[in-house]
Chains A and B, each alone.
Chain A
């Protein structure tokens, strides 16, 4: 039982990483109805920016704020320049666009900061949290910030005019346009917010997985798995899905024989496929009904 509790705790700690990423994935899915395969790379690039700012002598939180603003602007810029002209293009073309973006960002980051692994600081310290060996103060801080972010998003979407407009634009674009919402800019705003949330995820994850251009590969797939599990349309579900995936991964590693580190990705695969087959809308997603 002791082992079980410990593994669940450790699972929650890793789950916080996935929850952050899943939140960013769901944000962009809400805004544009697609999964952005370059999401992880955008987050990685933002994290490098903050690292560079700290190297130049900015304090952690200063760099944090500047990076957040940069990512928000960067997300909007990418949407305006590269993806707005593709709005009418077939989905396939847009997916190819995401892949191109992935390739460009990854390669540029590799050229600017090279592929060596870098240490990334944490503002929370890394001593044991409340005397537990399994969960450090950084991981506790990460969970805290994720939950804070979730509450913030909830209030934004539920109680502000812009949030309401964004929901309307995502749910029924034609009707939203008729009542005077600039749906095109709402999409850009969605990109900006997703990039900003992604950058927070990146900065929180970097102390755990270390900073390098390929750091997001595995995390993104788990983020997808978490988002699918929780439902691609529900930010709350995504965060919960993240924690569940983390716990599931740790328990499977402990109790199923032969499941080592190399089996982590197949587990994510099995999870994605079984959720999609059993309950495609995820735990908290809404079923999409299409009018013929």
Chain B
């Protein structure tokens, strides 16, 4: 308790992922998009709804991945931005009769602002301290939404009911299917935006900061601006996901956005592989389906089964689905040579 110095020789908070390893090859991406386009035509509405949720949570995990895998900052509080996005969409749609598609950019912009502002105090913090501050944000968010002061807009504890949009132009589609394709289009757009962002000058600045903050600032990168920018972008994407989530679930209430959601997003990122963007959607599948599987194995012990599965993932594939994908790629390469 008296030592003044600590040597920065511990394992880095976030391991460095080269940006080449962050994305999929175009062939694989094409096949996946084709599957995502065709599969809904052959399955039941409930499964379409689950696929929509998978994309939405995938977006939220992707946002976290940009923040953590890209710029090396932690967040256990992204559920707060998800909540702000969801409430923005719901309030605009229900109280002001704004078209659902137009509410999403608004949700994104408001959350970008909120994230940018929260990024300011977060600048002072790193590692565990940042995790703690964001953890507190996530815990406090439901309470803030319940405040009497906001009740005329938020509907207080009861929340708001959101109407599900019909397919436009008289397209012969169920509401669920239309919403799925709508979500898919937005997801693909945001995914391409994220990939390009990480390849751009700003993305390189994020990664330089992640790998060594001092070296980055010595190279002339404005560390404060880029760190808050990363927070803002991440919060903005999470906000769009939140808005989509509100439309898909048709309901917003303070208790849907507790710390549990933030932890789920975090776990999705770890399982999917930190810094590997496609992994976000694998992680999203993990957090949507594994609790159900756990409940199927044992009703009373679902939490314990979930925890054990998580430990298995951590021990067997510490780099998440990225590691699985890389091993698969190597095997394929060997097969081709033979």
Complex alpha-carbon distance, A95 and B267, angstroms: 9
- Residues on A with C-beta less than 8 A from B33 are none
Chain A residues whose CB sits within 8 angstroms of the CB of B129 once the complex forms: 228, 276, 280
Q: Is the CB of A107 within 8 A of B303?
A: yes
Is there an interface contact between B311 and A90, defined as CB atoms closer than 8 Å?
no
B-side interface size class:
35 or more
Contact B11 A88 (CB under 8 A): yes
Q: Report A259-292 residues with CB < 8 Å from chain B CB.
A: 262-266, 268-269, 272-273, 276-277, 280, 286, 288-292
**Is residue A86 within 8 Å, beta carbon to beta carbon, of the partner chain?**
yes
Q: Mark B293-320, 1 if CB is under 8 A from A, else 0.
A: 0000000111111111011001100100
B243 to chain A, nearest CB (A): 24
Q: Tell me, yes or no, whether B68 is within 8 Å of chain A by CB.
A: yes
Residues of B within 8 Å of A92, CB to CB, are 13-14, 68, 74, 269-270, 274
Given the complex of chains A and B, what is the CA–CA distance between A288 and B3 in angstroms? 9
Interface of chain B: mostly helix, strand, loop or mixed: helix
Contact status of A106 and B136, CB under 8 A, knowing A35-B131, A96-B270: no
Q: Give the residue name and chain of the B residue nearest to A107 (CB).
A: B303
Whether A179 sits at the interface, judged by CB under 8 Å, is: no
A97 interface residue per 8 A CB criterion: yes
Number of A-B contacts (CB under 8 A): 165
Bound-state Cα–Cα, A286 to B2, Å: 8
- CB-CB contacts of B1-38 with A at 8 A, as 1s and 0s? 11111111111111100000000000000000000000
Residues of the B chain whose Cβ atoms lie less than 8 Å from the Cβ of A174: 7, 9
Contact of A221 with B by CB under 8 A: yes
Residue A57 is within 8 A (CB to CB) of chain B in the complex: no
Contacts of A82 in B (CB 8 A): 311
Q: Which of B12, B143, B307 has the most CB of A within 10 A?
A: B307
Q: How far is the CA of A277 from the CA of B125 in the complex (A)?
A: 8
The answer to whether A268 and B148 have CB atoms under 8 Å apart is no
**What is the minimal beta-carbon distance from A36 to any residue of chain B, in angstroms?**
10
Task: Using A90-B14, A266-B140, A288-B6 as known contacts, say yes or no to A280 and B301 having CB atoms under 8 A apart.
Answer: no
Instruction: Tell me the minimal C-beta distance from B127 to chain A in angstroms.
Output: 7
Q: Does B267 contact A96, Cβ atoms closer than 8 Å? A: yes
A276-B133 CB under 8 A given contacts A104-B304, A108-B304: yes
Instruction: Tell me whether B137 is interfacial, beta carbon within 8 Å.
Output: yes
Cβ distance B130 to chain A, nearest Cβ, rounded Å: 9
Contact B1 A234 (CB under 8 A): yes
Asked if A93 CB lies within 8 Å of chain B CBs, one says yes
Minimum distance in angstroms from A216 CB to a CB of chain B = 13
Asked whether B201 is an interface residue with its Cβ less than 8 Å from the other chain, the reply is no
Q: Is there contact, CB below 8 Å, between A224 and B12? A: no
Inter-chain contacts of A89 with B (CB < 8 A): 11, 314, 318
Q: Which of chain B's residues have a CB closer than 8 A to the CB of A91?
A: 11, 13-14, 127-128
* Interface residue? B214 (CB, 8 A): yes
Within 8 A of B (CB), among A77-104: 82, 85-86, 88-93, 95-97, 99-104
**Complex contact B1–A286 (CB within 8 A):** yes
Which residues on the A side are within 8 Å of B307 (C-beta)? 99-104, 107
Contacting B at CB under 8 A, from A56-87, are 82, 85-86
Q: Does B164 contact A (CB under 8 A)?
A: no
Q: How far is the CA of A233 from the CA of B303 in the complex (A)?
A: 32
Q: B337 in the interface, Cβ–Cβ < 8 Å?
A: no
Known: A96-B266, A268-B136. A276 touches B1 (CB 8 A): no
Determine if B50 is an interface residue (Cβ-Cβ < 8 Å): no
| A107 pairs with B302, CB closer than 8 A | yes
Q: A88-B11, A276-B124 are in contact. Are A107 and B310 (CB under 8 A)?
A: no
B residues near A, CB below 8 A?
1-15, 68, 74, 121, 124-125, 127-129, 131-133, 135-137, 139-140, 143-144, 146-149, 214, 263, 266-267, 269-270, 274, 300-308, 310-311, 314-315, 318
| A-B contacts besides A90-B15, A92-B274, A172-B5, 4 pairs, CB < 8 Å | A97-B314, A99-B307, A103-B306, A258-B149
A-B contacts, 11 listed (Cβ < 8 Å): A89-B11, A99-B267, A103-B304, A107-B303, A228-B129, A262-B146, A262-B147, A273-B133, A280-B129, A291-B5, A292-B214
Ranked 8 nearest A-B pairs via Cβ: A107-B303, A171-B3, A104-B307, A269-B140, A103-B307, A100-B310, A107-B304, A100-B307
